[in-house]
């Protein structure tokens, strides 16, 4: 197998196509660090990660100064060993968001290369468990929208073929959330799934109060009701809440997921490939959840997660929220309310290199 000869690092900043506001933040820009690995035989792989507006320059610096130099001269096929090597090299800054995001950009590039060499799409290379996965949309449920607007947009999502929609919760008073959820449920009927997301905005007592108030609406889940570091609070809430509790986008280590699963602190895992550090640890988390009988409904990154959710038997949902349209020519395939993983070898993402070059706000190359 080829040895890594060159590592290119770029960052592009992508503006959300709609205003995105939740209980604690707004999406300013999607900083997207991109890594391209080239081997001495000419084979290449491309990977990426993201932030929602801050930290991108730190990810690029970590890649340029510390991770990329360790890759040059290495056998690109030894993905697991390289992930561990890079993780332990940055052990003083792991486990945490910046390191995980940098690791993910490298790891997804190595998996892209591995799949391309094998002539297989990622969803088959990583397991090949499902040919399609149900999909729901998040783009119409932002917290700043009025009740009438979220009803209109959720109906549009249903009519477009989505199987469900996510609504942000965390309005100043519980009655406001209830009013919005009641209006949406009455409009879409009982056969359409409604997911809710609090973005870590509640205390335990308020989360319990709202979960009980939301019970009549048959929710698919209540996502991130508490700060992710409050494991004990999640244990208490999961025991009492009348709907499944979903966590994962703000957890950065497989061991953190193990703690949640061992203590029955969640019943849906939303592991994020970028925030967990790449495909290598993502698959560990997914199969760990499988042993507990817990579904995986990955957060964001639909262009990548469609393949990963299809790779594992417990991949239950793909979240539709366009991320890469401005720098790719490929689009997510939707069929009868399901997301279909790409059939092309690699990650299945067709990058628009001219657009990336035009939009690049940072670039670096580390070579032999």
Q: Which member of 124, 168, 256, 305 is catalytic?
A: 168
> What residues have CB less than 8 Å from 108, skipping those under 6 apart?
35, 46, 47, 48, 49, 273, 278, 279, 304, 347
**Is 149 domain-assigned?**
yes
Say if residue 109 is in the same domain as residue 219: no
Confidence at residue 24, expressed as pLDDT on a 0 to 100 scale: 66
Say if residue 25 is in the same domain as residue 107: yes
Say if residue 85 is in the same domain as residue 154: no
Question: SS3 for 144?
Answer: coil
Say if residue 310 is in the same domain as residue 363: no
Report yes or no: 330 and 323 within 8 Å, Cβ to Cβ. no
Say if residue 184 is in the same domain as residue 319: yes
Question: What is the per-residue pLDDT across 286-296, written as a single tens digit (0 to 9) for each?
Answer: 999 999 999 99
Q: Which of 120, 52, 112, 106 is nearest to 278 (CA)?
A: 106
Say if residue 142 is in the same domain as residue 115: no
For residues 118 and 103, give the distance between their C-alpha atoms in angstroms, rounded to a whole number: 23
For residues 274 and 258, give the distance between their C-alpha atoms in angstroms, rounded to a whole number: 18
- Which range of residues forms the domain containing residue 12? 4-119+352-367
> Strands (DSSP E) along the chain, which ranges?
4-14, 30-39, 44-48, 133-137, 164-168, 193-197, 221-223, 245-247, 268-269, 295-296, 318-320, 333-335, 338-340, 360-367
Query: Is the peptide bond between 95 and the residue preceding it cis, with omega within 30 degrees of 0?
Result: yes
Mean pLDDT by runs of 10 across the 368 residues of the chain is 94 85 73 98 97 94 98 98 96 89 98 98 98 95 94 97 97 98 98 97 98 98 98 98 97 97 98 98 98 98 98 98 94 97 98 96 96
**Is 171 domain-assigned?**
yes
Q: What CATH number corresponds to the domain at position 56?
A: 3.30.390.10
Among left, alpha and beta (phi > 0; psi -120 to 50; other), residue 44 is: beta
Q: How far is CA 44 from CA 1, 5, 359, in A?
A: 12, 10, 21
**Is 44 domain-assigned?**
yes
Say if residue 236 is in the same domain as residue 154: yes
**Is 345 domain-assigned?**
no
**Is 87 domain-assigned?**
yes
**Is 66 domain-assigned?**
yes
Residue 305 appears among annotated catalytic residues? no
Say if residue 270 is in the same domain as residue 228: yes
Say if residue 269 is in the same domain as residue 128: yes
Report yes or no: 89 and 17 within 8 Å, Cβ to Cβ. no
Question: What is the per-residue pLDDT across 31-65, written as a single tens digit (0 to 9) for each?
Answer: 999 999 999 999 999 999 999 989 999 999 999 99
For residues 250 and 25, give the distance between their C-alpha atoms in angstroms, rounded to a whole number: 14
Say if residue 258 is in the same domain as residue 186: yes
Say if residue 362 is in the same domain as residue 226: no
For residues 107 and 78, give the distance between their C-alpha atoms in angstroms, rounded to a whole number: 11
Q: Which member of 124, 234, 256, 299 is catalytic?
A: 299
Confidence at residue 203, expressed as pLDDT on a 0 to 100 scale: 98
Domain count of the fold of the chain: 2
Say if residue 313 is in the same domain as residue 266: yes
**Is 346 domain-assigned?**
no
Main-chain phi, psi angles of 97, to 5 degrees: -65, -50
Confidence at residue 97, expressed as pLDDT on a 0 to 100 scale: 94
For residues 130 and 14, give the distance between their C-alpha atoms in angstroms, rounded to a whole number: 31
Partnered with residue 20 across adjacent β-strands are none
Residue 284 appears among annotated catalytic residues? no
Q: Which of 292, 347, 295, 346 is nearest to 318 (CA)?
A: 295
Q: Could you identify the residue written with the tokens 């209830």? A: 178
> What residues have CB less than 8 Å from 69, skipping those under 6 apart?
366
**Is 57 domain-assigned?**
yes
Q: Which of 333, 351, 347 is nearest to 133 (CA)?
A: 333
DSSP codes joined into one string, 81-135: HHHHHHHHHTGGG-SSHHHHHHHHHHHHHHHHHHHHHHT-BHHHHTT---S-EEE
Q: What CATH number corresponds to the domain at position 189?
A: 3.20.20.120
């Amino acid at each position: 197998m080829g040895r890594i000869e060159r590592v290119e690092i770029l960052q592009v900043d992508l503006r959300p196509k709609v205003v995105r506001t939740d209980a604690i933040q707004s999406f300013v820009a999607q900083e997207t660090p991109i890594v391209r690995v080239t081997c001495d035989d000419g084979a290449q792989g491309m990977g990426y990660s993201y932030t929602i507006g801050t930290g991108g320059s730190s990810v690029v610096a970590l890649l340029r100064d510390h991770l990329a130099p360790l890759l040059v001269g290495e056998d690109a096929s030894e993905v697991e060993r390289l992930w561990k090597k890079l993780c332990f090299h940055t052990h003083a800054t792991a486990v945490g968001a910046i390191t995980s995001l940098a690791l993910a950009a490298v790891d997804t590039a190595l998996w892209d290369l591995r799949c391309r060499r094998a002539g297989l799409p990622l969803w088959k290379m990583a397991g090949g468990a499902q040919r399609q996965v149900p999909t729901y949309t998040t783009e119409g449920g932002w917290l700043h929208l009025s009740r009438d607007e979220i009803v209109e947009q959720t109906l549009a999502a249903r009519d477009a073929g989505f199987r469900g929609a996510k609504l942000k919760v965390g309005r100043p008073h519980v009655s406001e959330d209830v009013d919005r959820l009641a209006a949406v449920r009455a409009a879409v009927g009982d056969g359409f799934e409604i997911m809710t997301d609090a973005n870590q905005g509640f205390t335990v007592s308020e989360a319990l109060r709202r979960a009980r108030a939301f019970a009549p609406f048959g929710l698919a889940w209540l996502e991130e009701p508490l700060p992710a570091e409050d494991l004990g609070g999640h244990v208490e809430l999961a025991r009492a809440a009348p709907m499944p509790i979903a966590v994962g986008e703000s957890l950065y280590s497989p061991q953190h997921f193990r703690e949640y699963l061992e203590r029955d602190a969640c019943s849906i895992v939303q592991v994020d490939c970028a925030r967990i550090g790449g495909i290598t640890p993502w698959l560990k988390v997914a199969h760990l959840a499988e042993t507990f009988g817990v579904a995986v409904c990955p957060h964001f990154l639909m262009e990548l997660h469609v393949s990963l959710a299809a790779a594992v038997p417990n991949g239950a949902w793909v979240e539709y929220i366009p991320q890469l349209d401005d720098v790719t020519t490929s689009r997510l395939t939707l069929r009868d309310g399901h997301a279909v993983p790409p059939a092309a070898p690699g990650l299945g993402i067709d990058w628009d290199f001219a657009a990336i070059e035009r939009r690049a706000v940072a670039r670096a190359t580390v070579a032999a």
